Structure 1
């Protein structure tokens, strides 16, 4: 029979192992701390968006009704209270935007994105189109937008491996 000291050590190891098994495997580290916020990471999971009814050609010909994008604008506004990076992350995760970027001509997709950002700035910051375009072209916005894009690329690579 093992000594009381060895029995105690075995019991402690078994207890530690059982605790580890109950807790499961550790979660993958968060790619960026801002993604730890549920308002930023997958912000549109609970929003019903029927992509089959989305008609980009109609938007190209007639423009878009800002009311149809209220869920995006509200999510962007909440995210902007956190940071500009958070706003860009939310914007880039919008399912309609992802569809347009994936399926449409890059120039048309860029025009659509610019239109959404201009309308957002007009609604929430009471900015003119010129002021909104200046904001979009600013180094501050461009840096946040590019960082958000890189974060989402890393996140998508990781989720495809999982």
Structure 2
């Protein structure tokens, strides 16, 4: 858990970024054009999530409640109207997923990410699990997901260099 001072600084940056996004002003992203969309670049800055209450082991044992991820799913749907790449960038920026990817072993983390994507596709595309799993293995999805991961790594490295 970040210190209260660090949390306050993050909150201030989030407010400034949200205000910038609402005004539509800002410099174009030097990392990738997909980040120029306000709904794609840091879409969860104004969403409060108490990550201290997130229990990955409980989710792995008992599953998760899709309603708990409505803010993620809505942001993904909005980004998907831009492109599949935009949807993947939004997905990978969700704070819960960032935590899971950073702190959990690869196989359980991958299972959790896939479960979220399966639920998302079931809700918004009325797809059965088998169809979604096939889509997740497609070159189109894999290319978009890998590029999204690369874009966010470059963005995070650039942001870290500014601090």
TM value normalised by structure 1 = 0.82
Q: Distance in 2 between matches of 1:76 and 1:52?
A: 24
Distance 1:27 1:133 in 2: 37
Unpaired stretches in structure 2, ≥5 consecutive residues = 1-25
Identify the residue that residue 93 of structure 2 maps to in structure 1: 93
| Residues 98-149 of structure 1, C-alpha deviations (whole Å, 9 max, x = no match) | 0001111110000000000000000000000000101111000000000001
Runs of 4+ in 1 over 3 A off after TM superposition: 26-29
Per-residue deviation at 1:27? 5.4
Residue of structure 2 equivalent to 1:127: 127
Native 8 Å contact 1:66 1:119 kept in 2: yes
The aligned residue for residue 143 of structure 1 is 143
1:28 Cα deviation after fit: 7.8
Residues 8-157 of structure 1 correspond to what in structure 2 (within 5 A)?
29-157=29-157
- TM-score normalized with structure 2 length: 0.82
Residue of structure 1 in register with 2:11 after alignment: none
**Would the aligned equivalents of 1:121 and 1:127 in 2 still touch at CA under 8 Å?**
yes
Distance 2:36 2:29 in 1: 10
